A and B are shown apart, each in its own frame.
Chain A
Amino acid sequence: MTILEEQLESHPEGQAHHDEPRGLYLWLTSTDHKIIGKNYMYTSLVFFIIAGAMAMLIRTQLFSPNNHFVSPQTYNELFTIHGSMMLYLFAGPFAFGGFANYILPLQIGAPDMAFPRLNALSYWLYVTGGITMLLGFFTASGAAAFGWVAYAPLSSATNSPGAGPDLWIVSIMLVGFSGIFTAVNLVTTTFYLRAPGMTMFRLPIFVWNMFVTGLLILIAFPVLTAALIMLYVDRHFGAHVFSVAGGGIPVLWQNLFWFFGHPEVYILALPFFGMVTEIVPVFSRKPVFGYKGLVFATLAIAGLSTGVWAHHMFTTGTVLLPFFSAMSLLIAVPTGIKIFTWIGTMWKGQVEFRSPMLFVVGFIFVFTMGGITGVLLAAPPIDFATHDTYFVVAHFHQVLFGTAVFAGFGGFYYWYPKMTGRMFRENLAKLHFWVTFIGFNVTFLPQYLLGLKGMPRRIAEYLPADHYTTLNRISTIGAYITGAAFIIWMANMWISWRKPIKASDNPWDGHTLEWATTSPPSHHNFEKLPPIRSQRPVWDMNHPEYADWANPDGHDSSQPEKVGER
């Protein structure tokens, strides 16, 4: 085998290695996308643990009928902040703040993000926004208690007085700006900092998904920020945008919010789809099946997701049911394409069940069910029967927990050696998966039945006569099992920190450029790059006899033609 690397002349040793600050000062001042990415990841995991603990309290309250474990006011605050933290502070930033920041420049062969200081600013707006949200619990009137959707007029100054709701508004604005800046950064980086030969249709699917996520953020978040400003002005300056008394339209809030809120669901899901599409090929030792179809499916999801917002509003009686029903049903098609693409990638491969792959298969399993129940909810009559019940709760937890936790932790374990230069304990990671998987299904499958039996969501207590008790108990026990799984994960991280096992540069036989550099990568990422002649340059370098040069850009039909020398 000949040496296929070329010296990358564009990345000389600059001032990169002058005396680097360390510790706290590094954390505060770094503009390196890898450090910011890790900061994002650690911070979002802290929020995940806090919001997960809130979920435990919520489930404990629902363990018994007429329970008084927490007061109704506390319960309302808990589910509001649980939802807000999981969506705004964990799932999104974990993906497009953490993974995208760290992995995207590496995968396209870039030395950093396009705007490193803007990147750092995004992180600080995110941290301060998160702290602002938590501050609500320390105010006299408590945190916001109107659900993560803050429907007007429940969120008005008369119905939700106090500082808590205002803190929630400010917090979402700060996090929203953080998201917008990150999106600008991701899109610009993808467009302008690719390595030579890395054409758009050679980008790893992860990069594609992050890029499309960036576009969706740019469409969705400004609408939310505008709506929040209107809400604030309503609360404090009597503007009556959303109040009937002054001639406003309360349902306008729902329109504005869900115009953000539905793309937001895909903003949360697409990055994780991208991670899955990186992990499945590597552990099947095959290229992505149907690359171009997958790219267009992703773009189709982006397009359709902006036209489905009112399927959250079927029961308002104010929306055009057939239009939104048709769009919502249609979005199942590109999503289905993705699932079949993953299975097609495994087909006739050599599927190896290391922990990342295990998480990903768990994700596909859970997400298939969550996606299918989403199709049920896209029919307005079925939505009339199940809207705002635990059926919907179970559905979106299968989708969001499936993506953010199963796929997210798959990605976490997959890139952990790259990010830290250490291996985790494989057995503990597998145990983490199985306990999460069992706990998750025990928690959420009973909730489908609860929803069909008519249990509304967000109720602090139910009656013994409702016959919800048994299913709720099963669900609560499942939640505790899921919680315990994350203790296993923390133990794994602790052991890996205290007793490190050094990871090699490419422990999984990876395909994409991040595996061409050291673990962890040096300051500006690459000392040298392999030539980029296909979607998976590192695979081509390591397996020249099976390289994609034989069929460039993934067309089986084209004439095999070797480019490299033997």
Chain B
Amino acid sequence: MKAERGIYLIIGTFFFVITVIYFLWSGEAGGTIMLFAAAGLGIMPGLYMAWWARRMAPRPEDRPDATLAEGSGPVGAFPANTIWPFVFGIGAAFTGLSLVWGVWLAVIGIGFILSTAINVSLESRRGGSV
């Protein structure tokens, strides 16, 4: 966790420094806001990880001497084959196309998206753990 925290904080701090330099030098609003947001994008997850890094022991993947046996047990629950991402993709595309050819396409698209929402939340009870 400590390395991950470091990466985010380094990047975030770097952007923050750049933001200050850019703002003081150019006074231009658009770029300053975008750089500031980029700094936030580094610092926020960095602080979250720093919070966790203080509270948990290093995971096996953080320790150079960890053995494979230490990582035994389920890694996580991975879903089996499912059609719903495809349906959601079609729904998103229809909804997107409604921006071009009219709202009626969004009706179809949102139908697909809703059916995905319902079915995926039911489906996640199934699927194997790995």
Q: CA separation between A308 and B63, bound complex, in Å? A: 37
A167 to chain B, nearest CB (A): 6
Q: Do residues B86 and A29 form an inter-chain contact, with CB atoms below 8 A?
A: yes
Interface of A is mostly: helix
Q: CB-CB < 8 A to B97: which residues of A?
A: 132, 167, 170
Q: CA separation between A308 and B5, bound complex, in Å? A: 25
Q: CA separation between A123 and B14, bound complex, in Å? A: 33
Q: Do residues B3 and A201 form an inter-chain contact, with CB atoms below 8 A?
A: yes
Q: Do residues A193 and B75 form an inter-chain contact, with CB atoms below 8 A?
A: yes
- A196 interface residue per 8 A CB criterion: yes
Q: Do residues B100 and A170 form an inter-chain contact, with CB atoms below 8 A?
A: yes
A78-120 at interface with B (beta carbon < 8 Å): 110-112, 114, 116-118, 120
Q: Do residues B80 and A31 form an inter-chain contact, with CB atoms below 8 A?
A: yes
Q: CA separation between A84 and B29, bound complex, in Å? A: 29
Q: Do residues B68 and A531 form an inter-chain contact, with CB atoms below 8 A?
A: yes
Q: CA separation between A174 and B90, bound complex, in Å? A: 11
Write the A277-304 contact mask toward B (1 if CB under 8 angstroms, else 0): 0000000000000000000000100110
Q: CA separation between A275 and B61, bound complex, in Å? A: 23
A261 to chain B, nearest CB (A): 12
Q: CB-CB < 8 A to B96: which residues of A?
A: 128, 132, 170, 173-174
Q: CB-CB < 8 A to A121: which residues of B?
A: 85, 88-89
Q: CA separation between A163 and B69, bound complex, in Å? A: 58
Q: CA separation between A263 and B123, bound complex, in Å? A: 38
- B108 interface residue per 8 A CB criterion: no
Q: Do residues A163 and B101 form an inter-chain contact, with CB atoms below 8 A?
A: yes
Instruction: Say which residue of A124, A232, A303 sits within 8 Å of B15 (CB atoms).
Output: A303
Q: CB-CB < 8 A to B34: which residues of A?
A: 223, 255-256, 259
Q: Do residues A197 and B61 form an inter-chain contact, with CB atoms below 8 A?
A: yes
Contact A196 to B68, CB < 8 A, known contacts A166-B100, A170-B96, A303-B15: yes
Q: Do residues B64 and A196 form an inter-chain contact, with CB atoms below 8 A?
A: no
A237 to chain B, nearest CB (A): 11
Instruction: Say which residue of B4, B67, B99 sits within 8 Å of A196 (CB atoms).
Output: B67
Q: CA separation between A9 and B70, bound complex, in Å? A: 9
- B51 interface residue per 8 A CB criterion: no
Q: CB-CB < 8 A to A127: which residues of B?
A: 89
Write the B34-65 contact mask toward A (1 if CB under 8 angstroms, else 0): 11001001100000000000000000111111
- Chain A contact-residue range equals 35 or more
- A527 interface residue per 8 A CB criterion: no
Q: Do residues B63 and A197 form an inter-chain contact, with CB atoms below 8 A?
A: yes
Q: Do residues A10 and B25 form an inter-chain contact, with CB atoms below 8 A?
A: no
- B110 interface residue per 8 A CB criterion: no
Q: Do residues B130 and A111 form an inter-chain contact, with CB atoms below 8 A?
A: yes
Q: Do residues B79 and A117 form an inter-chain contact, with CB atoms below 8 A?
A: yes
Of A13-21, A48-56, A369-377, A495-503, the stretch lying at the interface with chain B is A13-21
- Nearest CB in chain B to that of A255: its residue: B30
- Nearest CB in chain B to that of A119: its residue: B85
Instruction: Say which residue of A174, A194, A299 sits within 8 Å of B10 (CB atoms).
Output: A299
Instruction: Say which residue of B30, B71, B86, B100 sits within 8 Å of A120 (CB atoms).
Output: B86
Q: CB-CB < 8 A to A333: which residues of B?
A: none
Q: Do residues B93 and A14 form an inter-chain contact, with CB atoms below 8 A?
A: no
- B129 interface residue per 8 A CB criterion: yes
Contact A31 to B79, CB < 8 A, known contacts A303-B14, A531-B68: yes
B70 to chain A, nearest CB (A): 5
Q: CB-CB < 8 A to A166: which residues of B?
A: 99-100
A247 to chain B, nearest CB (A): 15
Contact A167 to B30, CB < 8 A, known contacts A6-B68, A124-B86: no
Q: CB-CB < 8 A to B14: which residues of A?
A: 303
Q: CA separation between A156 and B129, bound complex, in Å? A: 51
Q: Do residues A199 and B30 form an inter-chain contact, with CB atoms below 8 A?
A: no
Q: CB-CB < 8 A to B84: which residues of A?
A: 117
Q: CB-CB < 8 A to B60: which residues of A?
A: 196-197
Q: CB-CB < 8 A to A11: which residues of B?
A: 75, 130
Q: Do residues B68 and A16 form an inter-chain contact, with CB atoms below 8 A?
A: no
B65-115 at interface with A (beta carbon < 8 Å): 65-76, 78-86, 88-90, 92-93, 96-97, 99-101
Write the B16-33 contact mask toward A (1 if CB under 8 angstroms, else 0): 001001100110101100
- Nearest CB in chain A to that of B69: its residue: A9
Q: CA separation between A121 and B22, bound complex, in Å? A: 38
A120 to chain B, nearest CB (A): 4
Give 26 A-B contacts (CB < 8 Å), ordered by A residue: A6-B67, A6-B68, A15-B80, A16-B130, A28-B83, A29-B83, A29-B86, A31-B80, A111-B78, A117-B79, A120-B82, A120-B85, A121-B85, A124-B86, A125-B89, A170-B100, A193-B76, A196-B60, A201-B3, A215-B42, A299-B11, A302-B11, A319-B26, A320-B25, A524-B130, A531-B68
Where the two chains meet, the residues of B that have a C-beta atom closer than 8 Å to any C-beta of A are: 3-4, 7, 10-11, 14-15, 18, 21-22, 25-26, 28, 30-31, 34-35, 38, 41-42, 60-76, 78-86, 88-90, 92-93, 96-97, 99-101, 120, 127-130
